[in-house]
Amino acid sequence: MVDTPRTLVVMRHARAESLGTTDFDRALTEGGRADAADGGRWLAGFGVVPQHALVSAAARTAQTWRETAAAAGWDVEPELDRGLYAADVDNALDLVRALDDAVTSAVVVGHNPTVAALAQLLDDDEGDVEAGNAMATGSFPTSATAVFTCRGSWADVQPGTAALVGYHVGRG
């Protein structure tokens, strides 16, 4: 078993237009771009430096990643995954478990209700109390970001095995 400490960021896309050609194609609003950038600055200040980004291929999530990464100063090319767009929490957890163990820090950018359920599922209730309370009292709104630490292989990530160490809702 690999006992490497790992960082996993679970992030919901920023505010998007209410209408688009299709739901998949809805773009971020100007405020959503500012919110995503605020989240990126917060993550950089929190010390997160991802080696991998798993991002839903929908327009609003890809744009959220670009704004977040630019504000944080990251140059990681995202893995745009069409399956993450419609994934349920079990599918999203399987995508996390499939990460290469050479990766010690990863960001997942997706949609509700999946990312909210994933964050709740991962939380071992032994991390930062203030962050846990903030995450529990909200509905994981747009630009919500939860930072977890876990040990072992990505393949070993199970419900209740990650400590929530930070939570932020980007508002630019």
- Whether 128 shows a pLDDT value over 60: the answer reads yes
Q: Which residues contact 50 (CB under 8 A, 6 or more apart)?
A: 7, 9, 74, 76, 105, 106, 107
Q: How many domains does the chain have?
A: 1
Q: What's the confidence (pLDDT) of residue 91?
A: 97
Say if CB 135 and CB 141 are below 8 A apart: no
With a pLDDT cut of 90, the percent of the chain lying above it is 94
Confidence of residue 127 (pLDDT cuts 50, 70, 90): very high
What CA–CA distance (Å, rounded) separates 63 from 69?
10
Q: Is the peptide bond before 78 cis (omega within 30 degrees of 0)?
A: no
With tokens 């299709």, the residue in question is: 22
Mean pLDDT of 105-118: 97
Q: Which two tokens stand for residue 23?
A: 């739901």
What CA–CA distance (Å, rounded) separates 78 from 58?
12
What does the mean pLDDT of the chain come to? 95
- For residue 33, the enclosing domain spans 5-169
pTM to 2 decimals? 0.96
- The enclosing domain of 91 has a CATH number of 3.40.50.1240
* Short-list 83, 28, 25, 48, CA closest to 12: 28
